[in-house]
Amino acid sequence: MALLPLSTTPFEVPTDRDMLPSERRKFVDTHRTCVLAYARREDGPAQSVVYYVPTDEGELLIATMQARAKTNAVERLGKVSVLVLDERWPMSYLQVYCDAVVDRDPTLVVDLMMAVGERMSGQPVGADARPFVEQMAKDEGRVALRCRPYATFATPPRHLHRNDQPERITHWLSRSVPWTATDSDADD
């Protein structure tokens, strides 16, 4: 498994139709921030804005601390949802439903934290930073959440550019699409 590099050209969502299955995967692979949501034992769902790193095997990796509630929830339930955010306006997003597990492999955790640093700064993190990141991972008890997508739900961006054009705003329904669906499946 390899972590995908930070994309310099995030996928732009079409505004006149629903995204195809391949476009949904491209959207996920070329963005970097999401809202991670999971069920709590009490109250409503918990949500955290986090950076994620996609892999060449279709997983989404998220670094967190072992002691955080999100780690406990993943171990308890094995399910999360990831709302991938487009950082451009008008904002679009893609809901991704995932099976999830906790991975404590220290090499993976440090590789992931280095990749998150690149996403946060928009610049490569030098190898000279690795010892500091290794120590941080150890001190903070960091783990990796491995999220394996199984379905997506898309909502296209809709925006009112002026108040005199409300008739131009349209909405349509989307649907949940299996992560492995082909573009020809979208015609069904």
Mean pLDDT along residues 145-156:
91
Q: List, in order, residues 6 or more apart from 181 with CB less than 8 Å away.
A: 21
- List the structure tokens of 139: 């001190």
Give the strand pairing for 79-85 and 176-178. Answer: unpaired
**Is residue 87 predicted with pLDDT exceeding 90?**
no
**pLDDT above 80 (res 89):** no
Length of the chain: 188
Phi, psi of 128 (to 5 degrees): -65, -20
Measured between alpha carbons, how far is 147 from 145 in angstroms, rounded to an integer? 6
CA nearest to 32, candidates 151, 142, 112: 112
Question: Mean pLDDT over residues 95-119, rounded?
Answer: 98
What would the pLDDT profile of 51-80 be if each residue is shown by its tens digit?
999 999 999 999 999 999 999 999 999 999
Q: 11-34: string of b/e by CB count within 10 Å (b at 16+)?
A: bebeeeebbbbebbbbbbbbbbeb
Inform me whether the pLDDT recorded for 159 exceeds 60. no
The string of pLDDT tens digits covering residues 10-20 is 998 887 778 89
CA dist 150 and 67 (Å) reads 27
Q: Is the pTM of this model over 0.75?
A: yes
Q: Residue 173 above 70 pLDDT? A: no
Residue 10: asked if its preceding bond is cis (omega within 30°), the reply is: no
Q: Are 38 and 79 in contact (CB under 8 A)?
A: yes
CB distance 188 to 23 below 8 Å: no
Most confident of 13-17, 19-23, 134-138: 134-138
Average of pLDDT values for 141-146? 98
Is 53 in contact with 3 (CB distance < 8 Å)?
A: yes
CATH H-level superfamily of 23-157:
Electron Transport, Fmn-binding Protein; Chain A (2.30.110.10)
Looking at residue 18, its pLDDT comes to: 82
Comparing 171 with 95, the larger pLDDT belongs to 95
Instruction: Determine the longest span between alpha carbons in the chain, in angstroms.
Output: 57
Q: In angstroms, what is the C-alpha Rg of the chain? A: 18
